[in-house]
Chains A and B, each alone.
Chain A
């Protein structure tokens, strides 16, 4: 049994699973994310959202292949990779892997140190670049990520606090394919992360419960905490905040995509506004600095 206050309902296990399937089905249909029979590349981290997403897409009949990126974040990455491999092996699913150290000569902690930026910046940049490249190379119809309702509400909250018009205009649950970019979809946007975690528990999916040690204290987590305080007193606020934005506000932003005028990276061929793309610059800076073996603080468990 699980309580979902924003729906003012307690669900038994079978009905909760049906509820999750229906929410994902509605998201895919409403925003034209996928077509029946589409081949989807799932961005897999070994956490609850990406494994729930992979499980749900397969459950709904899509051909879903996972891609796991080895980020080199100490024991955390080792454990996350193990959960992803265990999930795939247990269900006979195909899991692709790319290891930043082995294939590009750096990892997230060393890149953060070399660039003097927060680790999440180097991590997100690497993920976007490598998932895009893998999807195009593999001929997938779309890249699916495990962003849930809480993720999207928190990002929206941050973008509103900063009135970041460019990001607000792009914060959509689906981004269509463009030259050099695959289609990107977020099928979990109608599910809160409490629901994706419950899906995993009820489906017997083992996942990385611990938080990434490099994300501790970041602003995104602070926004989630603030929104959850409001949600506790007024269930449904997060959903209303995000979906009303999509319905009423997002269309007012200029949807003109600057990606239309991009050129080709001189190093890797990816789209870029400069001569060399941001990922190739990151690789160059991180490997030139030679800062390997940056210690990662792991909580005692």
Chain B
């Protein structure tokens, strides 16, 4: 499957099927800091991603002076 990451934006290829929680662990990403979006839809940590899925791992952490 194609997995899009941010900061900087890039795409990697990962073999499926794989559980979301396992994918995040493999990429050393804390699920508290991201949303996982499959084919434009949010998916929880126990969802299984298929080889044909397009997945975005979107960071949610923002910093700075805050608005």
Contacts and interface: CB of A to CB of B under 8 A. Distances in A.
A44 B35 CA distance: 22
Given A1-B47, A299-B7, A300-B8, A201 B42 contact: yes
A105 interface: no
A127 B35 contact: no
Given A228-B32, A299-B7, A124 B65 contact: yes
B60 A218 contact: no
Contact of A218 (B35, B37, B43, B63): B63
Given A210-B7, A228-B32, A198 B42 contact: yes
B33 A228 contact: yes
A301 interface: yes
Contact of B61 (A2, A145, A221): A221
Interface string B4-47: 00111100000000000000000000111111010001111111
SS class, residues of chain B in contact with chain A = loop
B33 A1 contact: no
Contacts of B6: 209-210
Contacts of B46: 3
A210 B64 CA distance: 13
B67 interface: yes
Contacts of A124: 64-66
B62 interface: yes
Nearest to B64: A215
B42 A2 contact: yes
Interface stretch (A89-97, A146-154, A259-267, A270-278): A146-154
Interface string A210-221: 111011001011
Interface of A: 1-3, 5, 10, 13, 43-45, 47-50, 120-121, 123-124, 127, 145-147, 150-151, 192-194, 196-198, 201-202, 209-212, 214-215, 218, 220-221, 224-225, 228-229, 231-232, 299-301
13 contacts: A121-B65, A127-B65, A192-B32, A194-B34, A196-B60, A198-B35, A220-B63, A225-B33, A228-B33, A228-B61, A229-B30, A232-B30, A232-B32
